[in-house]
Amino acid sequence: MTRSTSLLACFLLSGSVFAGPLLTGVVEDISGQTIEMPSLPGSWQRQIAWMAPEGSEVDVSDLVVRIEPGDLVAQEEQTRTDLEKTRLSAARRIDELKLLLLDAETALAQAESSVRLAKLDAVIPASTIPQLDYERYQLTLETAEKALVRAQAEVLNRQAESRDVEAETALEISKAESLYQRISDALGSTEMRAEKPGFVIYGENPWTGRKVFPGETLYASFHIASVASQEDLQLRFWVHEADFLGVQLGRRVQVTTDAQGLPPFDAEITWTSSQAEEKEDWGDGGYFEAYARPIDEVPAGIAPGMSVMGRVLEDEAGE
């Protein structure tokens, strides 16, 4: 006997008759942590390498799911090596330019000194020295001033080149760091840890309708598992399209679980979907989703992942 069948039998044995439809559903934790297959570089689907046992309790930072990393380990090592090479190459280029700039500044200082010395001789009046010496002093000053202009231009060129190379190498390093960080983050995301204390609930493969299991290959964004607690519970029901008109917002639902010894409790419909989806394993027709919140405190023992059946109660107008 399946869970739904056993729950239905409980309703029939209760002896009460309700005009509203019967709903199948599950208990959920609204504030629970949802773990999905990450989108990783190099592949649009990945294999689950390991999962914490379903129902096991986990604490914050405990490992819940590990994804097969594939070639991400090799990519992480390669991008880290490339980053170090880029940094070393940039440092070497900048150091070389610093030496060239230092040489240019030294030459500029020498040119400035030569101009000052040449001016000392060039200011001597022509009437006090031989004409040949005077002309030689003037030529020496002119040559020194031209050399000074060239030295100043060389310093400016080296400074501009240094700025360009520093900007260029900074961009190269930034790109290498970004690529390494992207691969490193992707590798880190292959291990998904609990962000809250709770217990593990395996997700459902939407294509097969079966529980996700270690070793299964899933597409990115597929639900793998949840970490849930009893802090903030809601009920998710699936409503056959033939019964959907009987499930309106605000209607009360009597909820019975598949666990023996737990009393029924009432909930209120808070949301319904606007479009039905087919469930191949459930038979013909489409199914809408509906959410309900417990009206009062739920009985002890009610936990996320537990299968339930809801029976829509007649409203006062219909009694």
Helix/strand/coil percentages in the chain, nearest 5: 40, 25, 30
- Which residues are registered as beta bridge partners of 57? 199
Report residue 17: phi and psi, to 5°.
-115, 130
| pLDDT confidence band for 283 (50 / 70 / 90) | confident
Packed helices 131-188 and 72-122: angle between N→C axes, nearest 10 degrees: 170
Torsion of CA 64, 67, 68, 72, to 10 degrees: -120
Predicted local distance difference test score (pLDDT) of residue 193: 97
Predicted local distance difference test score (pLDDT) of residue 280: 73
Tell the residue number behind the tokens 């994804």, with chain if given. 67
CA 169 to mean position of chain CA atoms = 28
Give residues with Cβ within 8 angstroms of 122, minimum separation 6: 137, 138, 140, 141
Least confident of 49-63, 155-169, 199-213: 199-213
| pLDDT confidence band for 111 (50 / 70 / 90) | very high
Give residues with Cβ within 8 angstroms of 72, minimum separation 6: 40, 41, 42, 183, 186, 187, 190
Q: What percent of the chain has pLDDT over 70?
A: 92
Contact 48, 192 (CB under 8 A): no
Tell the residue number behind the tokens 């983050």, with chain if given. 185
| pLDDT confidence band for 99 (50 / 70 / 90) | very high
Q: Where in the chain is the domain with CATH 2.40.30.170?
A: 1-31+229-319
232-281: pLDDT as tens digits: 899 999 999 999 988 999 999 999 997 778 999 999 999 999 999 887 77
DSSP code, position 1: -
Average pLDDT, the chain: 90
Q: How many CB atoms lie within 10 A of CB 48?
A: 20
Report residue 100: phi and psi, to 5°.
-65, -40
Least confident of 33-42, 197-206, 223-232, 280-289: 280-289
Q: What is the largest CA-CA distance in the chain?
A: 137
CATH of 72-188, one of 3.30.70, 2.60.40, 1.10.287, 1.10.10: 1.10.287
Q: What is the side-by-side strand order in the sheet with 45-51?
A: 191-193, 63-67, 45-51, 217-219
CATH of 35-68+190-227, one of 2.30.30.220, 2.40.50.100, 3.40.50.300, 3.40.50.970: 2.40.50.100
- Report the predicted TM-score, pTM, of the whole model to 2 decimal places: 0.71
Predicted local distance difference test score (pLDDT) of residue 6: 46
Predicted local distance difference test score (pLDDT) of residue 42: 86
Predicted local distance difference test score (pLDDT) of residue 315: 65
Q: Where in the chain is the domain with CATH 2.40.50.100?
A: 35-68+190-227
| pLDDT confidence band for 316 (50 / 70 / 90) | low
7-40: pLDDT as tens digits: 444 444 443 444 578 899 999 999 999 999 999 9
Q: Where in the chain is the domain with CATH 1.10.287?
A: 72-188
Predicted local distance difference test score (pLDDT) of residue 19: 55
- Please say if the pLDDT value at position 294 is more than 80: yes
CATH of 1-31+229-319, one of 2.130.10.10, 2.40.30.70, 3.90.550.10, 2.40.30.170: 2.40.30.170
- Please say if the pLDDT value at position 3 is more than 60: no
Average pLDDT score over residue span 76-104: 97
Predicted local distance difference test score (pLDDT) of residue 16: 44
